[in-house]
Amino acid sequence: MTFYARIAAASLILAAMGAAACSPEPEKREATSTPPAALSHPDIHAFRIGQIQAVALKDGEMAFPATNREMSPWSDTAEVSALLTASGQADGQIHLSIQPLLVRDGERVVLIDTGAGGQMGTEGKLLASLRAAGVEPGQVTDVLISHAHGDHVGGLAGKDGALTFPNAVVRMSAAEWEFAKAGAAEAGAAPLLAAITPRVQTFAPGAQVTPSIKAVPLAGHTPGHSGYEIVSGTERLLYIGDAMHSSLVSVQRPELVNGWDSDGAPGVTTRQGLLNRGASESLRVYGVHFPFPGVGRFQRRDDGFVWVPES
């Protein structure tokens, strides 16, 4: 089963579950030059990386029962359930948020990943969140894709096939683009692929993709999966994509193979490397699926690690 088919199956399951709780549409605001840091809205979180302004943009939520072996990516459901219980999460569900990241890199308006586009049982809040941050879709200059799963590329085009960010270059690693093209037809994603093809520019692993953002290859999840490191002066933030999904399971049990990874063993190595580097450097990390807004650090605790969100 290809990644597209796997995610498509997951999306159907999640949609059938009605996993996403309904929430009111965020209030729309007119585009404004007001810095995002001055804005207040429940679905956005503005913060700085040195001189750079960044905004976490809520797109939606996914949830699935940890004990369901068809839905959970971790086969040892008893162990995962025990971890959730020990962490005070009584509902037995794995909760994953989706929050693409907006980065104002000089004149560039950069969006990292595009959410699920309202698929996979999610609310599809991204555009409302983007506008709440004072940005219209046409102002986005660069879309950086971590990988070609539906909850990251689903927001690239609308249901009518029109590009959501018509003026943006869509950047992803060359390996990921090849992977996307190979799996698109089977996944029913040919229209999306056709829509973005003229806008796609690929890069090599580790490339500098904008003046302040460098691609960071994070092996295991998909063939060209890429994180992004944003640097300003002495400050930095690492967007980890789907190298980790759960701020509990992926962080506290990184050695558990994730069934959503296309290559399990490198996925484990990547997680362990991120945790060691993150804790050693007190690296600021952005988890696109961690609890909103997804900004925090890894810390060593006992023989392992924990996620410590920024307050």
The DSSP-derived string for 245-279 is: --TTHHHH-TTSPPTTSSSHHHHHHHHHHHHHHHH
Of residues 242 and 261, the one with the C-beta less far from Zn ion: 242
**Minimum CB distance to Zn ion, residue 302 (Å):** 28
Of residues 173 and 232, the one with the C-beta less far from Zn ion: 173
**Minimum CB distance to Zn ion, residue 12 (Å):** 16
Distance CA 138, CA 212 (A): 21
Do 118 and 124 touch, CB atoms closer than 8 A?
yes
Of residues 176 and 242, the one with the C-beta less far from Zn ion: 242
Dihedral sign of CA atoms 97, 152, 226, 266 in order:
positive
Residues that bind Zn ion (CB under 5 A): 151, 242
Of residues 131 and 225, the one with the C-beta less far from Zn ion: 225
Instruction: Please work out, in degrees rounded to the nearest 5, the angle formed at the alpha carbon of residue 9 by the alpha carbons of 180 and 137.
Output: 55
**Minimum CB distance to Zn ion, residue 158 (Å):** 20
Amino acid at 296: G
Of residues 222 and 252, the one with the C-beta less far from Zn ion: 222
Distance CA 28, CA 25 (A): 8
